[in-house]
Structure 1
Amino acid sequence: MLKPQVDEQFGMKLPTYLMLGHMLVSCRVWASDWGYTEENGPKTWKKDYPIAVTGRRQSPINIVSRKAEYDSDLKPLNIEYLPEDEVKLKNNGHTIDIQITQPGFLTGGPVGNQQFRLAQFHLHWGADDTRGSEHTIDGEAFAAELHIVHWNTTYGSFAAAVDKSDGLAVLGIMIESGDVHPGFSVVSDNLDGLIQPGSTDTISSSLDPTDLLPDNIDDYWTYEGSVPIPPLYESVRWIVFKEPVEFSHDQLNALRSLIDSDGNPMQDNFRPPQPRKGRQVKASFQ
């Protein structure tokens, strides 16, 4: 099992999940007991994490649009982010982790009046443009998926929130190959020094997380799920946008140039869709 890390900003222990990029703000390098190979990939996680099989709300899932239930009570999301003055990047062995230092908050939509604080964002991607997203839409995979991670401020810290049933809220954004994404360039143009796992860098450039959102944030699917990497906590309110965004082929290839914790090219770092087990996916649109 991975040992929790200490976050210097909040002075607390953080579990593995956020480290995956799924939201951790950590500075130490550690050996991983899981990955995405045949030997340690998603099919093997159940050995150390039985919830992978016994859990009732594992993620990701395949979203079947015609079966999603329109919910007129789903109000627009209220997303308030501030630009980062510097961009803190880390190759944590599983993904590229972009740490957030400025206060940013998510309310509205399926989380209502609860306030969720922005912690981090990271991505999952494939070896080519035909696959890479964790969620699929009507069986279709996208080249990558961006996860913007927030924790419920009711619990006072990310560490306290991460394993609670309503502890996290994650925005899922589908990425398809196309035009250059200017907002992501500050990341994709600065990966040369982050090839090896454990590498970190701070870029003296501004990045506004708002620029990473699709133009239309009113249309989304939402469901109760889990952190999609070990320890697979069933603590995430997922909000998956209908509208994808485009990254250029070169931007996607920059991600594929990284090396993972197993010494392999960091590619196909996604968990396949999991059984829905009776959960209802709701839609904010008809």
Structure 2
Amino acid sequence: MDHAWKEQRKGPDRWHETYPMAKGNNQSPVAILTKDVYKDPALLPWFTGYDPGAAKTIMNTGKTCRVTFDDTFDRSVLRGGPLQGTYRLRQLLIHWGSTDDKGSEHVIDATRHAGEIHLVHWYPKYSNYADSLRKTDGVAIMAILLKVGKDPKPEMKRILEEMEAIKTKGKEVPFQNFDPSILFPQNRSYFTYQGSFTTPPCDECVTWIILKEPITVSVDQMEKLRSLSSNAAGDPYCALVDNWRPLQPLNNRMVRSPCQ
């Protein structure tokens, strides 16, 4: 069992014993109250240019389902919104619950959704991904909330049909020709704030862009995610669920959204 996972077994409230940053002042996720959000006229729309050919593999890490993208050059990028430059897409991660009433990390107006997709991008003005983690503007994460409903978005299907192939921890299969922008809701409005990764070491390098409108998934689709095991193939099945971090204090941070 690798060291970091052993630490995580202690649970999020003890991560800081190994990763002191987890007790920092700018941690994520946070609860967002619409009435307290600052409508900022300076905030622009965001744009993505994703190359479907950049998608490489999909993996069960034992903690999440992860899609990896080729980030060796500006192949799939995010720009605009609160960002100063162009950020490269590196990975897609999913958080979900054991039941439909929990699973998302960010909570908006006291609503916690069934899941949350994170598209992780980094700022290539820094020499590499590891270097970007040490800078407050090094990473931009686009968050898409998942809510359970009657008309599921067919777009999740592509990811979910791979669940059989990555049942157990450490399983990884090729995942080609995938454009994550199909996951975006119609409404492009967003909340943004400065925060951290929601997994150790919880580096405080993230500009969060949380899309206000959730996308709809079905009960069956959520069950597919919950069918993954957090254990390796030879070990007993252990449902990979509730891989979301509890809320962190907002402290003096401001959550902003564009005026339009």
- TM-score, normalised by the number of residues in structure 1: 0.83
The equivalent of 1:256 in structure 2 is 226
Structure-2 separation of matches of 1:159 and 1:149: 13
Q: Of the candidates 93, 99, 107, which is equivalent to residue 62 of structure 2?
A: 93
Q: Residue 153 of structure 1: SS of its match in structure 2?
A: coil
Cα displacement string for residues 154-190 of structure 1 (whole angstroms, at most 9, x for unaligned residues): 1032122122111100001110012332222111012
Structure 1 residue 66: Cα displacement:
0.4
Residues 7, 18 of structure 2: 8 Å contact kept: no
The equivalent of 1:154 in structure 2 is 125
Structure 1 residue 100: Cα displacement:
1.2
More deviation in 100-109 or 191-200?
A: 100-109
The equivalent of 1:11 in structure 2 is none
Cα displacement string for residues 9-34 of structure 1 (whole angstroms, at most 9, x for unaligned residues): xxxxxxxxxxxxxxxxxxxxx86233
Structure 1 residue 87: Cα displacement:
5.2
**In the alignment, does 2:40 pair up with 1:71?**
yes
**In the alignment, does 2:26 pair up with 1:32?**
no
Distance verdict in 2 for CA 1:85–1:157, change over 3 Å: closer
Matches within 5 A, 1:1-286: 32-35=5-8, 39-53=9-23, 55-84=24-53, 88-101=57-70, 103-112=75-84, 114-178=85-149, 179-203=151-175, 206-217=177-188, 219-261=189-231, 264-285=238-259
Residues 147, 173 of structure 1: 8 Å contact kept: yes
Consecutive unaligned residues in structure 2, runs of 5 or more: none
Q: Which amino acid aligns with 1:131?
A: K
Structure 1 residue 85: Cα displacement:
7.1
Residues 31, 261 of structure 1: 8 Å contact kept: no
- The number of equivalent residue pairs is 252
Q: Which amino acid aligns with 2:217?
A: F
More deviation in 259-268 or 245-254?
A: 259-268
Q: Residue 52 of structure 2: SS of its match in structure 1?
A: coil
Q: Which amino acid aligns with 1:62?
A: A
Distance verdict in 2 for CA 1:274–1:118, change over 3 Å: same
Q: Which amino acid aligns with 1:183?
A: E
In the TM superposition, structure 1's runs of 4+ consecutive aligned residues that sit over 4 Å from their partners are: none
Residues 82, 209 of structure 1: 8 Å contact kept: no
Consecutive unaligned residues in structure 1, runs of 5 or more: 3-29
Structure-1 separation of matches of 2:146 and 2:105: 11
The equivalent of 1:14 in structure 2 is none
Q: Residue 216 of structure 1: SS of its match in structure 2?
A: coil
Residues 183, 208 of structure 1: 8 Å contact kept: no
Structure 1 residue 202: Cα displacement:
1.4
Structure-1 separation of matches of 2:126 and 2:56: 27
Structure 1 residue 93: Cα displacement:
0.9
Q: Which amino acid aligns with 1:98?
A: V
Structure 1 residue 80: Cα displacement:
1.0
Structure-2 separation of matches of 1:160 and 1:42: 25
Residues 142, 175 of structure 1: 8 Å contact kept: yes
- TM-score, normalised by the number of residues in structure 2: 0.91
The equivalent of 1:21 in structure 2 is none
Q: Residue 6 of structure 2: SS of its match in structure 1?
A: coil
Q: Residue 185 of structure 2: SS of its match in structure 1?
A: coil
Structure-1 separation of matches of 2:152 and 2:81: 30
Structure-1 separation of matches of 2:136 and 2:6: 25
Percent identity of the aligned residues?
36
Q: Residue 7 of structure 2: SS of its match in structure 1?
A: coil
